[in-house]
């Protein structure tokens, strides 16, 4: 589907010769927004600002007939709305340079709305809820390691084509954003989607990229993280077996491991998470709603 068909007009202010459209001017927490910049002339150094972070654009190819005569040049970027981003109006800005050195750009207001997430209250034994001191220290160190991974932006686009679900056979992932209240205390929301599947089910890379983590973590058990470039990372948790190592380049659909029940789980399933420029977003949207290539 061409980008223009998915992108609503947004109340953007742009320099002459440039236009900006986004897939969702009103986006809910945990969602993805595709931003499309079209221009009459080729642009260089197209960057955006969202969430106080730089947004990296790639050159899009999908020019529609309606635009072909005027706005020939397409640059696209993916914006993530973090699962816990406070609802409100936020500015998204884009700047670029034309061949003659002239600076151009756009600004737009994007509205973030509260997401609709399920809440689950559980009463469980204390030793299950509270990690011991050693486990807690380990978990904190691992969180820091993940934070550093997601903070790094690889400037190249390492993927080509659409993203695919990590399990074959139409298994549906659920529970993204679910709020858990354990013994009356609110816990961190669920940052990914859970795919129930038997132990040993092959897990596929959602897209090509480079493996940046393949190890056992306290919460997510055997975990693989793939860097797809431009700030997009996918995470696969609770694996029974891992078939890749840090530094491996993987192709879209490659088997990277098998479903399991390692880490803090009650049964075998795949936990799949996607982070876009540090924003924790619903991974299902990456394959279902926002068609990026
Ligand atoms: Zn999960």
**Four-CA torsion 167, 169, 174, 177, nearest 10 degrees:** 40
Instruction: Compute, in angstroms, the gap from residue 198 CA to the centroid of ligand 1.
Output: 15
Q: How far apart are CA 14 and CA 17, in angstroms?
A: 8
- Identify residues whose C-beta is under 5 A from ligand 1, the ion: 192, 194, 271
Instruction: Compute, in angstroms, the gap from residue 86 CA to the centroid of ligand 1.
Output: 23
Instruction: Compute, in angstroms, the gap from residue 234 CA to the centroid of ligand 1.
Output: 13
R_g of the chain, CA atoms, integer Å: 20
Q: How far apart are CA 279 and CA 282, in angstroms?
A: 10
Instruction: Compute, in angstroms, the gap from residue 179 CA to the centroid of ligand 1.
Output: 12
With a CB cutoff of 8 Å and minimum separation 6, the contacts of 279 are: 51, 79, 80, 81, 82, 83, 85
Question: What are the φ and ψ backbone dihedral angles of 253, each rounded to 5 degrees?
Answer: 85, -10
Question: What are the φ and ψ backbone dihedral angles of 15, each rounded to 5 degrees?
Answer: -65, 150
Q: What is the pLDDT of residue 3?
A: 40
Instruction: Compute, in angstroms, the gap from residue 237 CA to the centroid of ligand 1.
Output: 8
Instruction: Compute, in angstroms, the gap from residue 84 CA to the centroid of ligand 1.
Output: 17
Instruction: Compute, in angstroms, the gap from residue 192 CA to the centroid of ligand 1.
Output: 6
> Hey, what are 230's tokens?
């431009």
Instruction: Compute, in angstroms, the gap from residue 99 CA to the centroid of ligand 1.
Output: 47
User: Going by DSSP bridges, is the β-strand pair 43-50/88-98 parallel, antiparallel, or unpaired?
Assistant: antiparallel
With a CB cutoff of 8 Å and minimum separation 6, the contacts of 140 are: none
Instruction: Compute, in angstroms, the gap from residue 124 CA to the centroid of ligand 1.
Output: 18
Q: How far apart are CA 33 and CA 30, in angstroms?
A: 10
Instruction: Compute, in angstroms, the gap from residue 267 CA to the centroid of ligand 1.
Output: 11
> Hey, what are 240's tokens?
């029974």
User: Going by DSSP bridges, is the β-strand pair 103-113/88-98 parallel, antiparallel, or unpaired?
Assistant: antiparallel
Task: Please answer whether residues 252 and 207 qualify as being in contact, where contact means their C-beta atoms are separated by less than 8 angstroms.
Answer: yes
Instruction: Compute, in angstroms, the gap from residue 271 CA to the centroid of ligand 1.
Output: 4
Q: How far apart are CA 229 and CA 286, in angstroms?
A: 15
Instruction: Compute, in angstroms, the gap from residue 197 CA to the centroid of ligand 1.
Output: 13
pLDDT by position in tens, the chain (length 293)? 344 445 555 678 999 889 999 988 889 999 999 999 999 999 999 999 998 899 999 998 655 555 556 778 999 999 999 999 999 999 999 999 998 999 999 999 999 999 999 998 888 776 666 788 999 999 999 999 999 999 999 999 999 989 999 999 988 899 999 998 888 888 889 999 999 999 999 999 999 999 999 999 999 999 999 999 999 999 999 999 999 999 999 999 999 999 999 998 889 999 999 999 999 999 999 987 556 77
Instruction: Compute, in angstroms, the gap from residue 47 CA to the centroid of ligand 1.
Output: 33
């Amino acid at each position: 589907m061409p980008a223009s068909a998915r992108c609503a007009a947004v109340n953007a202010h742009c320099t002459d010769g440039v236009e900006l459209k986004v897939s969702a001017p009103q986006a809910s927490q945990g969602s993805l927004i595709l931003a499309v910049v079209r221009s009459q002339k080729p642009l260089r150094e197209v960057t955006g600002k969202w969430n106080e972070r730089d947004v990296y654009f790639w050159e899009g190819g999908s020019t529609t007939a309606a635009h072909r005569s005027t706005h020939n040049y397409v640059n696209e970027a993916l914006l993530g709305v973090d699962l816990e981003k406070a609802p409100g109006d936020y500015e998204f800005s884009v700047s670029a340079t034309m061949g003659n050195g002239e600076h151009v750009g756009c600004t737009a207001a994007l509205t973030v709305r509260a997401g609709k997430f399920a809440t689950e209250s559980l009463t469980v034994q204390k030793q299950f809820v509270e990690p011991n001191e050693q486990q807690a220290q380990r978990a904190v160190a691992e969180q820091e390691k993940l934070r550093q991974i997601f903070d790094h932006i690889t400037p190249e686009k390492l993927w080509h084509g659409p993203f695919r679900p990590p399990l074959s056979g139409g298994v549906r992932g659920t529970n993204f954003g679910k709020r858990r209240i354990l013994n009356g205390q609110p816990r961190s929301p669920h940052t990914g989607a859970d795919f129930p599947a038997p132990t040993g089910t092959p897990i596929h890379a959602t897209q090509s990229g480079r493996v940046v983590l393949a190890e056992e973590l306290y919460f997510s058990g055997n975990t693989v993280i793939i860097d797809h470039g431009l700030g997009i990372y996918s995470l696969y948790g609770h694996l029974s077996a891992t078939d890749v190592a840090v530094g491996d380049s993987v192709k879209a659909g490659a088997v990277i491991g098998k479903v399991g029940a390692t880490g803090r789980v009650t049964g075998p399933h795949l936990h799949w998470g996607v982070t876009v420029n540090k924003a924790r977003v619903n991974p299902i949207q990456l394959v279902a709603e926002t068609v990026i290539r």
